[in-house]
Amino acid sequence: MNATISRRKWMGQMTTLIASSALIAPGLVYGSGLPASPDLIKLSGNENPYGPSPKALEAIRKTLSTGNRYPFGEAELLHNQLAKQMNINSDQLLLGSGSSQLLQLLAHWIVLQKYPVTYASPTFDILPNQVKQLDGLVNEIKMSEDFQYDLDQIGERARKNPGIIYLVNPNNPTGIKTSSKALRSFCERASAHSHIIVDEAYIEYIGMQESLADMIRSNERIIIVRTFSKIYGLAGLRIGYLMAHPDTINKLKPLRIWNNDSLSIAGIAAARASLEDQNFVRESLEKNEMIRSSTIQSLRELDIQPYESNTNFIFFKIPGNKDLASLLKKHNMLVGQKKIDGENYARITIGTKEEMNTFINYITNIF
Ligand SMILES: Cc1ncc(COP(=O)(O)O)c(C=O)c1O
């Protein structure tokens, strides 16, 4: 009898868990579950199609023979190199296996502290979703119709529910940026009551002068999250980092099982070499900008109006509300798609010139 009850209870809990796990990326079809292959054109993950840089590849090759050893010493080298490059102290930095691991750590900390999270959608929502899954409190605000942050509304909501504000700049999936001046003055005001996490995954695409990272030196409540997955082309090698006040870093550290346990020597070697290869970054930026602008031009000729993009992807409302992701998948092409207020929007990562030509050919046939 007891066994039956507890089994039933367990089944109930599992059902809730499975139902809530569907929230992980509500509506956004990433399609990135498929392994990379030459037959697959993957315009769904906002990855850099040119990476890893040649220097990173060479560093990975050289380091593989030490794969039998734990990565702690190497992680420390990356930690110190990165702190120096970012001009911060090493106690203001935390490394993670991709920035998503750091967003997860933050989510766990947020729930333990019982902080409500205020954020505006549509955005990259794995942090608020993780908080929801852990029964934490989340205040979701809608962006304006043209997908701008309503900073006054966010500030007001957070003032009434002080805790955490999560902002992504430039934003994903829209590619729209918020001016660093507006964001900076918002952070100054809102940090009177809340911590502000600024996710700068795509900051390199608008230039480091737009970053708020310098604020962590004087403001204990600013947390910056960044990644090597985008401009550095290391998405599969899983390296991200977080910059914040040492007190915040010290609160997050114990939530990891082991110090820097989740980094691999290959990822560390690639990140270290990539930091030394700013030529690769420059070239990737140039190619992205050139191919992005020709893709936007071709889309406009088809009467498709992408939003202003400040990233390595473009975002537009799909004419006729078509299920573009499914149509392109039949051609082995993956793109992102999200339903907003009943309308389908596409998020297309800027691939190589050839990939984007193929994309435009398919799109021309579809519309
Ligand atoms: C805004 C934003 N933050 C964080 C991430 C996670 O990146 P990663 O875990 O690869 O560092 C992504 C990935 O697309 C993103 O778009």
CATH number of the domain within which 160 lies: 3.40.640.10
Is 302 part of any domain? yes
Q: Is 201 in the pocket of ligand 1 (CB under 6 A)?
A: yes
| Cβ-based neighbours of 255, under 8 Å, separated by 6 or more | 105, 108, 109
Judged against a pLDDT cut of 50, whether residue 9 lies above it is answered with no
Ligand 1, atom 12, residue with closest C-alpha:
201
* pLDDT, tens digit, 9 for 90 and up, residues 235-280: 999 999 999 999 999 999 999 988 777 899 999 999 999 999 999 9
- Residue that is written with structure tokens 């149509």 in the block: 327
- Report the pLDDT value the prediction gives residue 28, as an integer from 0 to 100: 55
Lowest-confidence pick of 15-19, 52-56, 234-238, 282-286: 15-19
Short-list 122, 110, 272, CA closest to 196: 110
Is 16 part of any domain? no
Mean pLDDT, range 309-321, rounded to an integer: 98
Short-list 155, 154, 43, 166, CA closest to 102: 166
Question: Over the range 169-185, which residues count as b (16 or more CB within 10 Å of their CB) and which as e?
Answer: bbbbbbbbbbebeebee
Q: Is 169 in the pocket of ligand 1 (CB under 6 A)?
A: no
- Report the pLDDT value the prediction gives residue 342, as an integer from 0 to 100: 97
Short-list 103, 110, 106, CA closest to 126: 103
Judged against a pLDDT cut of 50, whether residue 218 lies above it is answered with yes
What are the phi and psi torsion angles at 96 (to 5°)?
-145, 165
Is the same domain home to 148 and 284?
Answer: no
Q: Is 97 in the pocket of ligand 1 (CB under 6 A)?
A: no
Last residue of a domain, one of 275, 294, 312: 275
Is the same domain home to 46 and 115?
Answer: no
- Report the pLDDT value the prediction gives residue 258, as an integer from 0 to 100: 83
- Report the pLDDT value the prediction gives residue 10, as an integer from 0 to 100: 36
- Residue that is written with structure tokens 């992102």 in the block: 336
Give residue 33's pLDDT band: very low, low, confident or very high (50, 70, 90). low
Short-list 195, 205, 223, 191, CA closest to 88: 223
Edge-to-edge order in the sheet of strand 343-349: 41-43, 333-340, 343-349, 313-317
Is 188 part of any domain? yes
Mean pLDDT, range 31-60, rounded to an integer: 89
pTM of whole model > 0.75?
Answer: yes
Is 236 part of any domain? yes
Is 271 part of any domain? yes
Mean pLDDT, range 207-220, rounded to an integer: 97
Taking the centre of ligand 1 as the mean of its atom positions, its distance from the CA of residue 30, in whole angstroms, is 12
Judged against a pLDDT cut of 80, whether residue 111 lies above it is answered with yes
Judged against a pLDDT cut of 70, whether residue 21 lies above it is answered with no
Name the residue of 124, 223, 315 whose CB sits within 8 Å of the most ligand 1 atoms, as the mutation to test its pocket. 124
- Residue that is written with structure tokens 């502290």 in the block: 113
- Report the pLDDT value the prediction gives residue 356, as an integer from 0 to 100: 98
Last residue of a domain, one of 257, 275, 293: 275
Mean pLDDT, range 151-158, rounded to an integer: 98
Mean pLDDT, range 311-331, rounded to an integer: 97
Is the same domain home to 93 and 228?
Answer: yes
Is the same domain home to 42 and 115?
Answer: no
Is 243 part of any domain? yes
**Residue 52: is the preceding peptide bond cis (ω within 30°)?**
yes
Judged against a pLDDT cut of 50, whether residue 7 lies above it is answered with no
Last residue of a domain, one of 221, 248, 275: 275
Taking the centre of ligand 1 as the mean of its atom positions, its distance from the CA of residue 169, in whole angstroms, is 12
Is 151 part of any domain? yes
Tally DSSP H helices, then E strands, for the chain: 12, 11
- Report the pLDDT value the prediction gives residue 8, as an integer from 0 to 100: 41
Is the same domain home to 189 and 306?
Answer: no
Domain CATH code at residue 344: 3.90.1150.10
Helices 126-133 and 99-112: crossing angle in degrees, nearest 10, is 40
For all residues of the chain together, what is the average pLDDT?
A: 92
Q: Is 333 in the pocket of ligand 1 (CB under 6 A)?
A: no
Name the residue of 121, 172, 178, 237 whose CB sits within 8 Å of the most ligand 1 atoms, as the mutation to test its pocket. 172
- Residue that is written with structure tokens 């990135």 in the block: 32
Is the same domain home to 130 and 262?
Answer: yes
The DSSP secondary structure of 232-286, one letter per residue, reads T--GGG--EEEE--HHHHHHHGGGSSSTTTT--HHHHHHHHHHHT-HHHHHHHHH
Is the same domain home to 221 and 340?
Answer: no
Beta bridge partners of 167: 198
Query: What whole-number distance in Å separates Cα of residue 12 and Cα of residue 6?
Result: 10
Q: Is 29 in the pocket of ligand 1 (CB under 6 A)?
A: no
Is the same domain home to 66 and 40?
Answer: no
Mean pLDDT, range 283-293, rounded to an integer: 98
Number of domains the chain contains = 2
Report DSSP state, residue 129. Answer: H
Taking the centre of ligand 1 as the mean of its atom positions, its distance from the CA of residue 99, in whole angstroms, is 6
Edge-to-edge order in the sheet of strand 195-199: 93-96, 240-243, 222-227, 195-199, 164-168, 117-121, 138-142
Q: Which atom of ligand 1 is nearest to the CA of 100?
A: 9
Judged against a pLDDT cut of 50, whether residue 17 lies above it is answered with no
Judged against a pLDDT cut of 80, whether residue 36 lies above it is answered with no
Is the same domain home to 249 and 330?
Answer: no
Judged against a pLDDT cut of 80, whether residue 2 lies above it is answered with no
Is the same domain home to 239 and 303?
Answer: no
Q: Is 48 in the pocket of ligand 1 (CB under 6 A)?
A: no
Is 294 part of any domain? yes
Ligand 1, atom 2, residue with closest C-alpha:
201
- Report the pLDDT value the prediction gives residue 38, as an integer from 0 to 100: 78
Q: Which atom of ligand 1 is nearest to the CA of 202?
A: 1
Judged against a pLDDT cut of 60, whether residue 32 lies above it is answered with no
Q: Which domain holds residue 147?
A: 54-275
Is the same domain home to 217 and 267?
Answer: yes
Q: 74: helix, coil or strand?
A: helix
195-199 and 222-227 as β-strands: parallel, antiparallel, unpaired? parallel
Q: Is 235 in the pocket of ligand 1 (CB under 6 A)?
A: yes
Is the same domain home to 137 and 186?
Answer: yes
Mean pLDDT, range 156-170, rounded to an integer: 98
Judged against a pLDDT cut of 60, whether residue 37 lies above it is answered with yes
Give residue 25's pLDDT band: very low, low, confident or very high (50, 70, 90). very low
**What does the block give as tokens for 285?**
């930026």
**What does the block give as tokens for 353?**
């010139």
Q: Is 98 in the pocket of ligand 1 (CB under 6 A)?
A: yes
Mean pLDDT, range 14-20, rounded to an integer: 36
Short-list 287, 280, 345, CA closest to 316: 345
